[in-house]
């Protein structure tokens, strides 16, 4: 087995914990890769949270100074799981130190910050990965393969959505996600970035968009620093303004002629985590939702047979399923997708070859977001183009 890969994690909130668990799980779930990890150091601005993470995930050290993670001589890869407004500076620092970076989406608060992070990584010659984890559901990878193999024919329609109610209570606290100076975009960055990335993987590049936005809950209770997450609810206390959008809707035209719609919302009732897509082609169709992430609905009518959808369960014949469970319909969960993602990142590091999705794929998402932003201002269709 090769020497262990030295891991540093910056930001030990919920997502930092997920990354840490994933790094620990990679050697167990993917033993054939012969990848070993060494949990070197974690950082958080809360000393208590950093110390708890050190104990929970086996880090050798913890700190409240994130630069110490970047500078540590035994760290080979760094996860950046902090609020969006810190990503750009941290990714640039990791790149300048010659270390590989695994950053959570949407990378920057806006398209320019994402592009700058990608440019810093490219200049430094380091490898990158970005947390578009919904890609890695085994049946999603199967859907991608079916489309790539032409089983659906030419694609005609794509409908992508991310509808979730984590913020549907007016008492949900004003975390950084609701503030444009720290998060940048609201739903466009937090949720629709996943929808855009998935559509790129499934249907290809987007040519142009027209979109709208809305904020349903304009004020929220102030969050408690170091304790609250974007799921926290607080019934009283001082209030603050929400400064980004709760809802985004788009009409989309893909470069290959596919017509589409995207929708994302964080305050909707009746949807818990409906990150989903529906695809229609000239020969068939399929659809998937994270709320039933281990099922793919597949429509491939055969001549002489009655047409209808088939429910396909995730199973050992689908990519990465067997690493977690040997039987069909024995489902994977969210953390398993992040473990697959961490494994893909570490595989690219061992091979010395850039994998996907990296910062280049994040820039492709940001280019669509920039077009959406222009559409908000113009009220019309906007072409997707490079970020200057």
All structural domains of the chain:
5-133 (3.40.50.720), 138-292+294-332 (3.30.360.10)
Question: Which pLDDT value is given to residue 333?
Answer: 98
Using a 10 angstrom Cβ sphere, with 0-12 exposed, 13-18 middle and 19 or more buried, the burial of residue 298 is buried
- CB-CB contact of 180 with 241 (8 Å): no
Question: Which pLDDT value is given to residue 289?
Answer: 98
Report the distance separating Cα 229 and Cα 174, nearest Å.
9
> Is the peptide bond preceding residue 357 cis, with omega within 30 degrees of 0?
yes
Report the distance separating Cα 113 and Cα 106, nearest Å.
10
Q: Spell 118-131 as b/e; 16+ CB within 10 A means b.
A: bebbeebebbbbbb
Helix ranges, the chain (H) = 14-29, 47-57, 66-71, 84-96, 111-124, 138-148, 180-183, 187-190, 192-203, 334-351, 359-378
Q: Show the low-confidence residues of the chain (pLDDT under 50).
A: none
Nearest to 191 by CA among 114, 136, 246: 246
Look-up of token digits 């130190």: 97
Q: What angle do CA 325, 331, 336 make, to 5 degrees?
A: 75
- DSSP code per residue over 255-282: TTS-EEEEEEESS-SS-SSEEEEEEEES
DSSP-derived letter for residue 291 is G
Question: Which pLDDT value is given to residue 166?
Answer: 94
Nearest to 119 by CA among 375, 300, 359: 359
DSSP-derived letter for residue 292 is G
Entry pTM? 0.95
**CB atoms closer than 10 angstroms to residue 352:** 8
- CB-CB contact of 152 with 281 (8 Å): yes
What's the start-to-end Cα distance of the chain, in Å?
44
Residues in the chain: 388
Nearest to 199 by CA among 259, 127, 245: 259
- CB-CB contact of 362 with 369 (8 Å): no
Question: Which pLDDT value is given to residue 236?
Answer: 76
Residue 155 phi, psi (nearest 5): -70, 140
Report the distance separating Cα 102 and Cα 358, nearest Å.
8
């Amino acid at each position: 087995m090769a020497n262990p890969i030295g891991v540093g994690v910056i930001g030990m909130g919920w997502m930092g914990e997920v990354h840490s668990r994933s790094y620990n799980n990679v050697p167990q779930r993917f033993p054939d890769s012969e990848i070993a990890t060494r949990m070197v150091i974690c950082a958080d601005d809360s000393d208590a949270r950093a110390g708890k993470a050190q104990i929970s995930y086996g880090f050798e050290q913890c700190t409240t100074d994130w630069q110490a993670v970047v500078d540590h001589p035994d760290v080979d890869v760094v996860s950046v799981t902090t609020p969006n407004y810190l990503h750009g500076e941290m990714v640039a620092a990791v790149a300048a130190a010659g270390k590989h970076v695994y950053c959570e989406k949407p990378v920057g608060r806006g398209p320019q910050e994402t592009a700058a992070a990608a440019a810093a990584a490219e200049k430094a010659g380091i490898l990158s990965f970005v947390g578009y984890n919904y890609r890695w559901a085994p049946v999603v990878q199967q859907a991608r393969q079916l489309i790539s193999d032409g089983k659906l024919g030419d694609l005609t329609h794509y409908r992508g959505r991310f509808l979730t109610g984590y913020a549907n209570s007016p008492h949900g606290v004003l975390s950084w996600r609701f503030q444009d100076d720290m998060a940048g975009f609201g739903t466009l960055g937090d949720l629709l970035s996943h929808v855009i990335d998935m559509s790129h993987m499934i249907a290809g590049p987007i040519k142009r968009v027209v979109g709208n936005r809305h904020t349903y809950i304009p004020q929220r209770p102030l969050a408690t620093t170091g304790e609250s997450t974007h799921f926290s609810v607080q019934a009283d206390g001082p209030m603050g303004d929400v400064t980004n959008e709760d809802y985004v809707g788009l009409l989309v035209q893909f470069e290959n002629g596919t017509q589409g719609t995207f929708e994302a919302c964080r305050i909707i009732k009746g949807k818990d985590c409906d990150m989903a897509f529906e695809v229609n082609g000239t020969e068939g169709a399929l659809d998937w939702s994270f709320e039933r992430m281990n099922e793919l609905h597949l429509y491939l009518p055969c001549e002489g047979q009655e047409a209808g959808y088939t429910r396909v369960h995730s199973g050992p014949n689908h990519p990465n399923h067997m690493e977690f469970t040997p039987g069909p319909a024995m489902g994977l969960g969210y953390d398993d997708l992040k473990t697959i993602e961490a494994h893909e990142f570490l595989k690219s590091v061992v091979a010395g070859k850039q994998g996907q999705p990296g910062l280049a794929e994040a820039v492709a998402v940001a280019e669509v977001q920039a077009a959406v932003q222009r559409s908000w201002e113009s009220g019309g269709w906007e072409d997707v183009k490079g970020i200057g």
